[in-house]
Structure 1
Amino acid sequence: MQLSRTDVLLMAFCTGLIVANIYYCQPLVILVAREFNLTESHAGKITYLTQAGYALGLFLIVPLGDMFERRKQILMITGLAVASLLLAAFSHSFLLLQIACVLIGASSIVPQLILPMAANLTSDEKRGPTIGIIMSGLLIGILASRAVSGSIGFLWGWRTMYFIAAGICSLLLLLMAKRFPLSRPSFEGSYRELMLSMWHYIKTQPILREASVINFLAFSVLSAFWTTMVLFLANPPFSFQTLQIGLFGIAGAAGALAAPLVGKLSSGKNPRKNLLIGLVLQLISIATFYFTKSHLYLFVAGIILIDIGQQAIHVTNQTRIYTLIPEARNRLNTIFMSVSFVGASVGSAFGLWLWDKGQWPLFCLGTALVVLLNIFIYNFYSHKIKA
């Protein structure tokens, strides 16, 4: 079976709405801090706990897509997402909210089951563009989630956002049950053998190792920014409310528009060159953040650049690993995305630490050093890897 254009757009739609669950919390940190009488940086723990939960779900659950029928797995995990979102909405303590956020992250891994499904049902020459389209849906979901949650949190409180998210996932559950294709598992061993096989791929696939390390550091920079920018904009000279902060997510829409183009370029003879372009864009974006001061046009320009840079890195790397071992795409994606979102979780914590120690100037310096380290790693692998 080959995916039609409608199928690909539907997968992009579902991917965007489900991945949004991970990012609703970011503009809501200020409101959560007020309700539970916490500092904003302490309340910010929910951002990296959600990402840590996502990494945990990727590592433990996504490999099962090679072992079990994917549509059934997608529906079961989406049901768990509904329950986790409702738990967050009803949380009566910050501890319970933190637990709910870990579960929300772990149950929001459905996009990482959809992507291998799409890759398996797409021809080699169309795989890059297809992944690019679905990644556009994913990025739009990330960006829209911040704008929507900031607005809803400002108008009706942070709990309302989680109630709405639970309703959205319930509707998606019905839509995916009706439209998603059945798939045949490619692995016939035990769960233990499944997990052990991933270590074999880590040891034997240098492209997988390079892509994962570069994505770890790139995601850490992006996540550090989106977590810390909430504190930057909530304090003088801006002193913005959650409604205004959330709207800045829209500025990253250029990254979503770039994803299909990057996907096409990633299907070329030397997709690896896109990585250096993405890393340079990240470095330029941090420079614009450093010189922002009260000039919001520089801040918006930086958001556009950092999101385009991240798309160039992520879509390129994901397309590269999908060409390695077709029958193990879920496991390869598990390694790649688990490492990426551990990087995101570490980045959020790192960004909050930099903010506490030296606020925005130290944040910019710290993240710039991470990007420079990533460029060094890229150059280190250049003489070993060409694709």
Structure 2
Amino acid sequence: MVTSTDNTARSPGISPGFTRLLAFTGGAAVGNLYWAQPLLGDIAVALSVSPDTAGLLVTLSQLGYALGIFLIVPLGDTLNRRRMIPTIMFLCSLSLGASAVAPSFVVLLTTLALVGFTNIAGQLLIPLAGDLATDEQRGRVVGTVASGFLVGILLSRTVSGIVADTFGWRMIYVAAAGMMLVLAVIMSRAIPVLPPRDHIPYGRLLRSVLQASIRHRPVRVILVFGAALMCVFTAFWTGLTFLLAEIPFSFTAFQIGLVSLLGVLGVIGAQFTGRVYDRGWSIPAIAAGLAITLISLVISGLSGSLVAGVLVAVSLLSVGVQSVLVLLQTLIVSIDPAARSRLNTALIVANFVGGATGSTVAALLWPIGRWTAVMGATALIVLFALTIWFLQRRRSLAELTSTSPALPAPDEISL
């Protein structure tokens, strides 16, 4: 039987300047998913739909993003990424431009779904960074690139609101389309020439994503951690939005947005944990991040009516969750150089499922027990993750601290 070979040569390393370019590009790309969130009211009025209906814009863009992650990102393991990444960014620019001139809500719904589907360049950049980095710098490099994503998420809503207040809601899509076009040109010249990779039939490529997730214990544990943490993170923020909008806080949407800026502490945590990975301390660092997350939920649950307690909890949660998520992404792109895009796909899909579950859990529990119920449920999820860590720290997780064998090529997997 013919087996695939790994054509990934040892990289001479990645420069700090190119690392920052990847971080900026990833942050700019991920922001495209969040421009609409603070603009839903304006869009609803402009296109004559209800605010609830306008909320479908966010839902469809997220679903398009999930579909793009699963169907396109695995191709990063077989196609020429020097051409693939700029091409995807160019298509995203076209979708953003079409959104800017959408004449009706149905057209805007369609174009934003296309924005989500084509907005996956960032998830190709992280495996690329893992390929270009040396073993000694991989944690720091992936941590820096992931930090760019966090900054993009944090700033996108604020930037969108400012631009819309000044120039109208369509202008943010004009600006985003121009930004993606410029970055596509820059990336077409900045991405180095990479060694060619073996051709893998598309159907087998997609099946290998699932096979790798099922067959390898370290991957399965990482996916469980990722889904659990994203469930906690989205449940916390969904519940927090409900909490801060009510008495005794009665925060405006702008004030709630300011609270979210405390998430910048997660960016600092991501930078720090990248260096932790490079020193070989990933496994204890995961436990530390989970413990910090649990402490934040306890503080938040006990001081739900005190703004100081909520702010402390938000800060700790950002550090705990984001630090572990960056460690998980660094670990998963380090398992097999030939399958980085596919493994990253599996992690992002698991995170997406966890996030969707978290928002649903918060919405269901809020009418029953409000903030206390949401915090209790999320604390149980973190305790579950800590239990998995304790049981697997000398088994599946221990395999991550040694040189991991390459995942079998799709031709070697029994289907």
Instruction: Kindly report which structure 2 residues correspond to 1:330-345, keeping only aligned pairs within 5 A, or say none.
Output: 330-345=341-356
CA distance in structure 2 between the partners assigned to 1:206 and 1:328 by the alignment? 16
Letter in 1 for 2:226: N
Structure 1 residues 173-199: Cα deviation after superposition (integer angstroms, max 9, x where no partner): 222223222323423221122222223
**C-alpha contact 1:279 1:371 (8 A) present in aligned 2:** yes
Q: Secondary structure at the match of 1:125?
A: coil
Q: Deviation digits for residues 339-375 of structure 1, max 9, x if unmatched?
A: 1122223323433344455543433333333323322
**TM-score normalized by structure 1?**
0.88
1:372 is matched with which residue: 377, 380, 383? 383
Determine if the alignment matches structure 1 residue 145 to structure 2 residue 156: yes
| Native 8 Å contact 1:118 1:130 kept in 2 | yes
| 1:252 Cα deviation from its structure 2 partner | 1.0
Bigger mean CA offset, 3-12 vs 278-287: 278-287
Q: Secondary structure at the match of 2:278?
A: coil
Matching residue within 254, 269, 294 for 2:265 = 254
Q: Distance between the aligned counterparts of 1:238 and 1:66, measured in 2? A: 49
Could you tell me whether the CA contact under 8 Å between 2:283 and 2:393 is conserved in 1? no
Tell me how far 1:6 sits from its aligned partner: 0.8
Which residue identity does 1:295 align to in structure 2?
A: L
Q: Secondary structure at the match of 1:22?
A: coil
8 Å CA contact retained: 1:26, 1:227: no
Distance 1:160 1:226, change over 3 A: farther
Worse-matched range after superposition: 6-15 or 144-153: 144-153
Match in the other structure for 1:67: 78
Q: Is 1:12 aligned to 2:12, yes or no?
A: no
State whether residues 304 and 371 of structure 2, in contact with CA within 8 Å, keep that contact through their aligned partners in structure 1. Answer: no
CA shift for structure 1 position 10: 0.9
Whether 1:282 and 2:290 are equivalent positions in the alignment is: no
Change (3 A) 1:147 1:107: same
Q: 1:296 aligns with which of 299, 307, 316?
A: 307
Q: Is the 8 A contact 1:150 1:243 kept in 2?
A: no
Residue 211 of structure 2 corresponds to residue 200 of structure 1:
yes
Pairwise mapping of residues 163-312 of structure 1 onto structure 2 (< 5 A)? 163-312=174-323
Structure 1 position 292, deviation (Å):
4.8
Give RMSD over aligned pairs.
2.8
Q: Note the alpha carbon deviations across 1:23-49, whole angstroms, 9 max, x for none.
A: 334444555567666466x75554454
Residue in structure 1 matched with residue 327 of structure 2 by the alignment: 316
C-alpha separation in 1, matches of 2:103 and 2:299: 40
CA contact (8 A) 2:146 2:270 kept: yes
Q: Does the Cα contact within 8 Å between 2:244 and 2:256 map onto a contact in 1?
A: yes
Is the 1:116–1:333 contact (alpha carbons within 8 Å) kept by the matching residues of 2?
yes
2 CA distance for matches of 1:372 and 1:208? 20
Deviation at 1:313, TM superposition (A): 1.2
Secondary structure of 1:183's aligned partner: coil
CA-to-aligned-CA distance 1:232-281 (integer Å, 9 cap, x gap): 43444444444333222321111111212101111333412222222222
Which amino acid letter does the alignment assign opposite residue 133 of structure 1? T
- Which whole-Å CA distance do the structure 1 matches of 2:113 and 2:391 have between them? 35
Residue in 2 that maps onto 1:108: 119
Q: Aligned runs of 1:150-165 on 2, under 5 Å?
A: 150-153=161-164, 158-165=169-176
Please name the residue that 2:363 is paired with: 352
Counterpart amino acid of 1:11? L
Which runs of 5 or more structure 2 residues have no equivalent in the other structure?
A: 1-11, 401-415
TM-score by length of 2: 0.83
Structure 1 residues 150 and 226: alpha-carbon distance in aligned structure 2, compared to 1, 3 A threshold: farther
Following superposition, the deviation at residue 99 of structure 1 comes to 4.0
Corresponding position of 2:338: 327
Q: Report the CA distance shift for 1:10/1:341 in structure 2 as closer, same or farther (over 3 A).
A: same
Report the CA distance shift for 1:337/1:257 in structure 2 as closer, same or farther (over 3 A). same
Task: Tell me which amino acid in the other structure corresponds to 1:24.
Answer: W
Q: Distance in 2 between matches of 1:250 and 1:265?
A: 24
Q: Is the 8 A contact 1:147 1:248 kept in 2?
A: no
1:155–1:294: structure 2 CA closer, same or farther, 3 Å change rule?
Answer: farther
Q: Is the 8 A contact 1:89 1:160 kept in 2?
A: yes
Give 1:288's aligned amino acid.
I
Give, in whole Å, the separation in 1 of the partners of 2:115 and 2:372: 32
Q: CA separation in 2, counterparts of 1:282 and 1:263?
A: 18
Shift in alpha-carbon separation, 1:74–1:49, aligned structure 2, 3 A: same
Cα drift, residue 383 of structure 1: 4.2
- Which structure would you say has the larger Rg? 2
Q: Give identity over the alignment, percent.
A: 35
Does the CA-based 8 Å contact 1:233-1:240 persist in structure 2? yes
* CA–CA separation in structure 2 for the residues paired with 1:231 and 1:155: 28
Moved runs in structure 1, 4+ residues, more than 6 A? none
SS in 1 for 2:33: helix
In structure 2, how many angstroms separate the alpha carbons of the residues matched to 1:258 and 1:53? Answer: 29
- Of the three residues 131, 141, 144, the one matched with 2:142 is 131
Structure-1 separation of matches of 2:374 and 2:35: 22
User: Separation in 1 of the partners of 2:376 and 2:178?
Assistant: 41
CA distance in 2, matches of 1:3, 1:148: 30
